[in-house]
Amino acid sequence: MEIVLIIISVLLIALVLLQSNKASDAGQIITGGNSMLMSQMKERGAEKFITRLTYVLGFLFIIISLFLSL
């Protein structure tokens, strides 16, 4: 079970690094350019798939971690 947790961890790290740079939009709050931050930007295609897969792997990581702590 620990091996599965390690594999999920590595995949989760890789997926987070593959996601588009959303932190740069958050940095615009300081400079006053928050029009891009507040706009509704929809994810499409591969970006949407990567985001959903990140959520699923994060959930699995938490569940397996809780299970191993028992």
Model confidence over 36-61: pLDDT tens digits?
Answer: 555 556 677 888 899 899 999 999 99
Q: Are 11 and 59 in contact (CB under 8 A)?
A: no
pLDDT tens by residue, 5-26 = 999 999 999 998 888 666 555 5
Query: How far is it, in rounded angstroms, from Cα 11 to Cα 7?
Result: 6
End-to-end Cα separation, the chain, in angstroms = 13
Give me the number of domains the chain comprises. 1
Q: How many residues are given for the chain?
A: 70
Instruction: Give this prediction's pTM.
Output: 0.71
